[in-house]
Structure 1
Amino acid sequence: MTAKILVSACLMGHAVRYDGAAKPLRHPAIERWRAEGRLVTLCPELSAGMPVPRPPAEIEGGRTGADILSGAGRVVEKTGQDVTEAFRHAAENALALALATNCRFALLIDGSPSCGSGFVYDGSFSGERVKGEGVTAAILRANGVEVFSDREVEMLVERLAGEDDGAA
């Protein structure tokens, strides 16, 4: 069975980011996976009913998505609005979709309080990064979905080659 990949909608060219923009990821593997029907596209925040555009949000205090899932942190907008529950709901939606569509892998935009897998911003809205993951990346990993960032496409290609007997 061909492995499915949950992918951030912004990476697929959808203008769903907080600022109303997209971050299209151009890579031959993405086009091949699209043609093979492997990609399952989702913006977690939109799935939870958040608007586009919306104020930027960060995880407070240098915490990570795992902290949010355990109740030990908050996601706040630059305006000060607490959006923790929306981000938790977004993560739960992403997990439900991944499980329903047999996505064993995810390719997510790094830095996002939802999708970040290598880093997130520290909650000060100053551009400072901290090592860690967003809420969606955390819940996916906790449930056995292998998460790759937009900078790790080649790693995902190699991983899929092992899964698909070279058909990735």
Structure 2
Amino acid sequence: MSKYLISACLVGENVRYDAKNCLQLKLKHLVDTQQAIVICPEVAGGLSTPRYPAEIIDGDGVAVLQGLAKVIDSQGIDVTREFILGANKTLELAQHFQVTHIILKANSPSCGSQMIYDGSFSNQKIAGKGVTVALLEQHGFTVMTEDEFLQQLSSPKTTQK
């Protein structure tokens, strides 16, 4: 049976930097039916809600884990340590519960799996991974965005003979 780990903001928890959420009812249903666990890596790493938005400077989550890039909030405060701590707590949770699917919020400096903001706080995106995604993938987990997962759900299933 599948076991999911989902970004808390996607199931209606007001944990985003702006104290809002990105509720996806199909994902919340997985929690309601006890098929999923949730976490916000940024809150797990010690950041408050609300908080200033943060972006990765000089790279992506892979570079952050290598010590080559930093996560800075819009006030210039270095929050790299909190992002790495949250990524580690998310990894521990995924390993402990032996999750089979990880669905994290697209474009986030923690949870983005394809695109992240470019570090200029100008709403520009670049190809890259968030800190949590980079760590999870280094440990063999596959991460998808909410859109990828919901698209899979709505695709007709192919049957094999």
Q: Which SS does the other structure have where 1:103 is aligned?
A: coil
1:132 aligns with 128
Residue type matched to 2:147 in 1? R
Cα distance in 2 between the residues matched to 1:154 and 1:87 = 26
Name the TM-score, length of structure 1 as normaliser: 0.87
Verify the 8 A CA contact 1:148 1:156 in the aligned structure 2: no
TM alignment of 1:56-71, pairs within 5 A: 56-61=53-58, 63-71=59-67
Instruction: Give me the whole-angstrom Cα distance separating, in 1, the residues matched to 2:28 and 2:23.
Output: 12
Are the aligned partners of 1:88 and 1:135 in contact in 2 as well (CA < 8 Å)? yes
One of 72, 97, 102 as aligned partner of 2:98: 102
Q: How far is the alpha carbon of 1:34 from its aligned partner?
A: 3.1
Root-mean-square deviation (CA, aligned residues, Å) is 1.9
Which one of the candidate residues 50, 70, 95 is aligned to 1:53? 50
Distance 1:31 1:73 in 2: 33
Secondary structure of the residue that 1:49 maps to in structure 2? coil
User: Does the alignment pair 1:43 with 2:47?
Assistant: no
- Determine the C-alpha separation between the residues in 2 that align with 1:54 and 1:19: 7
> 2:80 maps to which residue?
84
Describe the superposition over 1:94-122 as per-residue Cα deviations: whole angstroms up to 9, x where unpaired.
00000001112210001110001110000
Partner residue in 2 for 1:151: 147
The DSSP-based 3-state class of the residue aligned with 1:152 is helix
Q: Deviations over 1:111-160 (max 9, x none)?
A: 110001110000000000001110001111111111010111145549xx
Cα distance, 1:5 vs. partner?
1.0
In structure 1, C-alpha distance between the alignment counterparts of 2:131 and 2:12, rounded to whole Å: 22
Q: Match of 2:87, as an amino acid?
A: A
| Aligned residue type for 1:58 | E
Residues 57-105 of structure 1, C-alpha deviations (whole Å, 9 max, x = no match): 00003x1111111111000000000011110001000000000011122
Residues 128 and 100 of structure 1: is their aligned pair in 2 closer, same or farther, counting only changes over 3 Å?
A: same
Structure 1 residues 99 and 135: alpha-carbon distance in aligned structure 2, compared to 1, 3 A threshold: same
Instruction: Find the aligned partners of 2:119 and 2:53 in 1 and give their Cα distance.
Output: 10
1: CA distance between counterparts of 2:152 and 2:3? Answer: 12
Q: TM-score, normalised by structure 2?
A: 0.90
- Report the identity percentage: 36
Number of residue pairs aligned between Structure 1 and Structure 2: 157
Structure 1 residues without counterparts, runs of 5 or longer: none
